[in-house]
Amino acid sequence: MQNLIRQLAADMVASRYAIVLTGAGVSTESGVPDFRGPKGIWTTNPQAEAQAYQRYERFLNDPKAYWEEMLGTVGTSSNFYQEMRKVEPNPGHYAIARLEHLGIVKQTITQNIDGLHEKAGTRNVMHYHGTVEKLRCLSCGSRFSVDDYSLEKLPPLCRCGRPLKYDVVHFKEPIPSDIMDAAESEAMKCDLMLICGTSAVVYPFAALPAIARNRGRSGVRIIEVNAEPTPLTHQGISDYLIQGKTGEVLPLVVDEVGRLMGWGRPNTQACTGLSPCPQFSESHRPDTAAEKRSSTLAANHPKAPGFGVSASPSSCLIGARASVRFRCPSGG
């Protein structure tokens, strides 16, 4: 496994425009339930799935009834979105945020609606399927923070006078054109795409790696960190797969990136992102060109984990494990 961790770290440090794609596998490690897994929401409650397929049409036909259902005041729905907003990020989220803070990751595009990337400190996040943290107007396209509305009077109204819905993209609802166009542009622009925690079967999101491979930059590197092989693995779209949990693999990648960038000696402990890692402490910072890549971090993020603060060994994950499968670029 360590050789592939090192290869991914080296690929990321060498990249000029790296982006990250994330799916449900990143958030399940925070306790966010999936939908179609063995204990998924829809697996255990088929009626909830049936309701989900009707939700977009319900909003179009009766916005007030839509909101009463979404807030759990009528029907069999519950305040699932409100509960989701209470969930906290896990080490995988924090690792992605650190890679952005280091200037390596330029954009994170996520299928997840939970807002955990922002909670972890990632700034440039594109919500392909929307987010529970925002409301959206289908008429003018405006988006607003959920916290800007009390939701006591239903439905909430946009400044243009039209009803607002959750920014979340429901079944039968088109992906907002601004998001779709921007995501495709990022896929064509990147020279490295890191795909984390997604089964790569939900389209059009699942088409982004193929866009990067076929229409993007020459020599683009596409790497998966997933619990299981995906169609991207089998079809040869990705260059290699690191098979394991994102919350275990990604902190190891951050550690190795830090070593390559001259932030200190390798550490046998893998940073979880939940608290600072020793190798990123002020005392381990050499005056190197690599430091310039993140020179503004301390000023802009004085509380960002891992910078300018030392940590005890107990704050790190020890002995994280993951199995690795590798397909060489030539297909062997």
pTM over 0.95: no
Q: Is residue 51 pLDDT above 60, yes or no?
A: yes
In this structure, the answer to whether residues 242 and 310 fall within a common structural domain is: yes
The pLDDT tens digits of the residues spanning 277-288 come to: 433 333 333 333
Supply the pLDDT for residue 73: 54
Residues 309, 182 share a domain: yes
For 36-49, how does the pLDDT look when each residue is reduced to its tens digit (9 = 90+)?
666 777 778 888 78
Q: Are 43 and 36 in contact (CB under 8 A)?
A: yes
What percentage of the chain carries pLDDT values higher than 70?
76
Burial of 27 (0-12, 13-18, 19+ CB in 10 A): buried
**Span 314-324, mean pLDDT?**
31
Question: What is the distance, to the nearest Å, from the Cα of residue 60 to the centroid of all Cα atoms in its chain?
Answer: 29
Residue-wise pLDDT tens digits, 57-97: 999 999 999 999 888 754 444 577 878 888 999 999 999 99
Q: 97 and 51 in one domain?
A: no
pLDDT digits (tens, 9 = 90+) for 133-148: 999 999 999 999 999 9
Please say if 129 is a catalytic residue: yes
pLDDT at 12 over 90: yes
Q: What angle do CA 27, 28, 33 make, to 5 degrees?
A: 115
36: in domain: no
Distance CA 58, CA 79 (A): 17
Counted domains in the chain: 3
Pick the closest to residue 274 from 65, 22, 18, 30 (CA basis).
Answer: 30
Residue 183 lies in a domain: yes
Range of the domain at 162: 134-166
On whether both 52 and 160 belong to a single domain, the answer is: no
Same domain, 76 and 196: no
Identify whether 251 is part of a domain.
yes
pLDDT confidence of residue 113: 94
Closest C-alpha among 117, 218, 129 to residue 169: 129
Residue with the bigger pLDDT between 321 and 28: it is: 28
Strands 18-22 and 269-271: unpaired
Q: Give the residue with greater pLDDT, 264 vs 247.
A: 247
| CATH (domain of 230) | 3.40.50.1220
Mean pLDDT of 249-254: 97
Selecting among 129, 170, 234, 284, the annotated active-site residue is 129
